[in-house]
Chain A
Amino acid sequence: MSRSHHRPPRRRSVPHLASRLLTGSVLAAFLAFFVLPVLWLALAATKTDHQLVHDNPLSFGSWHALKANWDALTAFQDNAIMQWLGNSALYAVISLAITLAVAIPAGYALAMTEFRGRHTLLIATLVVMLMPNATLVVPLFLEINAVHLIGTMWSIILPYSFYPFGVYLTYIYFTTAVPKDLLAVARMDGCSEFRVFWHIALPLATPVIALVGFFSFVANWTNYFLPYVMLPESSQMPIQVGVGTLLSNVPSFNPAVGTLAIERPQLALATLVAITPVLIVFLFAQRFLVSGMLAGATKE
C-alpha cells in the first residue's frame, strides 16, 4: 500500500501518508489512554451505582444523581470529606509557604554567592533529591515520635517543608537565567547582600518561585504514605488518606461493610473532589511549567 515513489527533496520533508497515519494513530491511542479514564471518572460521579454498571460507560447520568451522590458523600462520618479537604489545604499551604521561604534563598545563595561548605551542600542536595523519600518514613516517625509531635500537623508539615528539589530548581534557574555581573554592579553601588537578593534577584525569580510552589504543592497534596503513618485519626487525615478510608467502605470492593456503605459513584465523586485543587493549579501554572520543567535543559 506504500505510495513511496521518489520525490524531489522539498524545503520541508513531507512524511509519507503511511507514516503519517501511523503517527496519528499512535498519538490518538495514547490520547485515549491518558484522557478516557479522567472523562470516565467525571461521568461516573453523575450516575447511580445501577447506571454505572448497566449504562454506556461514557454516558452522562443525571444532575439528580450527582446531587444524591454528593449528599451521600457528605453524610459519610458527618461531612468528613470537607474536613479532609480542609486538612489537606492547611497542610499543603503552610508547607508551601515554609518551602518557598527556605528554598528560594538557599538556591540563590548556592548559585550566586561563595561561602564555606557551598560545594558540599550542593552535592548533599543532589543526593537527597534523588533519594526516595518514602524510605525515610519509618525513621521520620521515630524521630518525630521522640520529640512528641506525632498526631500534630507539624509531623507532616515540617518534613514536607524540606524540599531539596526546589532548592535545586532555584539553583539552576539563577545559574542560567541571571547574570552574576548584574549582582556585582549592584554590590558596587553599595547594596547590602540582603538588598541585592530582595530587590534584584527576587523580582527576576518569579518563574522559578511559581515552579517550586507548583511542584511542592502537588507533592504535598498527593502524598499518602507520610500522613498515613503520622496522622491516623480520621479528623486529621488529608483527603488522600481519607479517600482510602472511603475505598474500604465500598461494598463492591469490601463485602464486609455494613449499612454505612459508600457506593462506587460516590467514591468517584470523592476522587474528583480530591483532585480538583491540583487540577486548578495545573491550569494556572501551565505556562510556567513548560518553560520551568526545562530549567535544567537550557543549561549549557
Chain B
Amino acid sequence: MTLTPSSPGSAARRPRGAVRQSRAGTAFVAAYVVLLVAFGVLPTAYAVYFAFTDAGGKVTGFANFTATAHDFRFMDAVSHVAVYLAFWLLSLVVFVVALALLLHRLASGSASKALRFLYYIPGALAGAASVLVWLFMLDPTVSPVSSLLGMSGFHTFGEVIAPGNLPLLFTVIAFWTGAGGWIVVMYGALNNIPTDVMEAARIDGAGAWQTAWHVQIPMLRKWIVYMVILAFAGGAQLFVEPQLLSLASVGVAGRDYSLNQLTFDFAFQMNNINGAAAVSVELLVVSVSAAALFVARSGFFDAD
C-alpha cells in the first residue's frame, strides 16, 4: 500500500479504501435516492402511465394526447405560454446583463452593493405576494403610477388586464421578483473575469462598449445560458399569476390561461386525470429535453 495521498478516484491503487469509501458514499446518498425515486422518478412514471391509459386502466395509446390537443383551450394555452416565455426570456437576458454591466462599472463599490441588494428585495415577494402587489400597481384607482397608466390609455382595471396585455404583465411580475437574484449572479460572474483580461482590453484601447461586447459578454455566455434554462423551466410552469388574476377579475382574465391551469382543470374540475397526465407528460418531455440538451452540450456541468 502506497503512502502518498491519492485522490479517491484512484481506486486501483487503494482497493481497501475504495471499498470503504464506496460503502460510505452509498450510505450518504441513500436517503436522497429514496426521495429522488419517490418524488422525481415515480411521479414521472405515474404521469406516463396515466397519459397512455383510460379511466379504467386500459391502454389507449395517444388517445389522451389527441383528445386534450383538441380541447378548444389547448392551443390557446400553448401560445399564451410561448408568447410569455419569449417576452420573459428576452427581457431577462437584455436587462439582467445590461444592469450587471452597469453596476460593475459603477465607481462607488458601496452604491453598487446597495443597489444590488435593493434590486434583490422583491425576490422575497415571489409567488402570490408579487401577483397581489402588481394587481394593485395595475389598478388605476389605487396605483402610484396611475398617471403613467392613464397616459398609456388605461383608465380601468379591466382595460389593463385585457387579454393582449397579459403576457407583458406576467413578464413584468416575473422580472420584478426574479431579476434581482440573477443580477447578483451575473455581477459575481463579471467579478470572476481575470483582471489581466480586463487590463489587456483597456491597454488595447477598448471602450466600455467594446469591452462589454467583445470581452465580458462572451465570458458570461455560460451563465446566460444557465439563466435562460432555469427561467424557461420556471416560466413554462406559469400557474399562480393567471390563477390569482382570474380570482381578482371574477374569471374574466386568466382562467384556463396556462397549460398548468389546464392540467388542473382537467384533473380536478373535469375529472379527467388521464387528460391532465397527458398534458403533464408533454410539458415534461419539452423541459427534460431542454435540460438534457443543456447538461450534455453546454459544458456547464462537467459531471467530474
A residues with CB within 8 A of B: 13, 15, 19, 23, 26-27, 30-31, 33-38, 40-41, 44, 52-53, 57-58, 101-103, 105-106, 108-110, 112-119, 121-143, 158-159, 161-162, 164, 167, 180-181, 183-185, 187-188, 193-194, 197, 218, 222-225, 228-229, 240-241, 243-244, 247-248, 250, 252-256, 264, 267-268, 271, 274-275, 278-279, 282, 286, 289-290, 293-294, 296-298, 300
Query: A242 — nearest CB in chain B belongs to which residue?
Result: B128
Q: Give every chain B residue within 8 A of A108 (Cβ-Cβ).
A: 28
The residue that A57 contacts in the complex, of B28, B143, B273, with Cβ under 8 A, is: B143
What are 25 A-to-B residue pairs whose CB atoms are below 8 Å? A23-B106, A26-B98, A27-B115, A31-B118, A37-B122, A105-B32, A106-B32, A114-B8, A116-B26, A117-B26, A121-B29, A131-B233, A131-B288, A135-B263, A162-B39, A164-B40, A184-B5, A188-B5, A197-B24, A222-B127, A224-B243, A247-B244, A248-B247, A290-B188, A293-B181
Q: What is the minimal beta-carbon distance from B64 to any residue of chain A, in angstroms?
A: 13
Q: Once bound together, how far apart are the Cα atoms of A162 and B44, in whole Å? A: 14
A138 near B244 with CB under 8 A, answer: no
CA distance A250 to B250 in the complex (A): 11
Q: Are B35 and A102 in contact (CB under 8 A)?
A: yes
Closest 10 pairs between A and B when the two form their complex, measured CB to CB: A193-B24, A115-B25, A130-B291, A134-B237, A57-B144, A109-B28, A113-B25, A222-B127, A106-B32, A294-B188
**By the criterion CB–CB under 8 Å, are A161 and B294 in contact?**
no
Interface size on B, residues (CB 8 A): 117
* Closest-CB distance, B273 to chain A (whole angstroms): 7
Give the distance to chain B from A208, nearest Cβ to Cβ, in Å.
15
- Interface residue? B271 (CB, 8 A): no
Write out the residue numbers on chain B whose beta carbons fall within 8 Å of the beta carbon of A254.
Answer: 247-248, 250
Q: Which of B38, B179, B250, B263 contacts A162 (CB under 8 A)? A: B38
Q: Mark B256-285, 1 if CB is under 8 A from A, else 0.
A: 000010011001100001001100100110
Residues of A near B229 (CB, < 8 A) are 130
B127's partner among A112, A158, A224, A256 (CB-CB below 8 A) is A224
Do residues A243 and B128 form an inter-chain contact, with CB atoms below 8 A?
A: yes
Contact in complex: B5, A185 (CB < 8 Å): yes
Chain B proximity of A178: nearest CB distance (Å)? 12
Q: Is the CB of B128 within 8 A of A240?
A: yes
Contact A27 B8 (CB under 8 A): no
Q: Which B-chain residue is minimally distant from A180 (CB atoms)?
A: B7
Contact A33 B43 (CB under 8 A): no
Interface of A: prevailing SS: helix
Question: When chains A and B are docked, how far (Å) is the Cα of A241 from the Cα of B262?
Answer: 19
Known: A37-B136, A131-B288. 20 other contacts (CB 8 A): A34-B176, A40-B137, A105-B31, A121-B29, A127-B291, A130-B290, A132-B234, A132-B236, A135-B280, A136-B40, A138-B264, A164-B40, A184-B5, A193-B20, A244-B128, A244-B243, A268-B136, A271-B125, A278-B124, A297-B223
Chain B positions within 8 Å of A127 at CB level: 288, 291-292, 295
Is A30 in contact with B119, judged by CB distance below 8 angstroms? yes
Among A103, A181, A229, contact of B268 (Cβ-Cβ < 8 Å): A229
Contact across chains for B5 and A241 when beta carbons are under 8 A apart: no
- Looking at the complex, which one of A142, A161, A167 makes contact with B50 (CB distance below 8 Å)? A142
Closest partner residue, chain A, to B192 (CB atom): A297
Min Cβ gap A26→B in Å is 6
Contact with A along B100-115 (1 / 0, CB 8 A): 0011011000000001
A293, B176: Cα distance in complex, Å: 18
A140 — nearest CB in chain B belongs to which residue?
Answer: B43
Could you tell me the distance in whole angstroms from the C-beta of A152 to the nearest C-beta in chain B? 15
Asked if B18 CB lies within 8 Å of chain A CBs, one says yes
- Complex: A137 Cα to B276 Cα, angstroms: 10
Interchain CA distance A31-B106 in the complex, whole Å: 15
Residue of A132, A224, A225 contacting most chain B CB atoms (<10 Å): A132
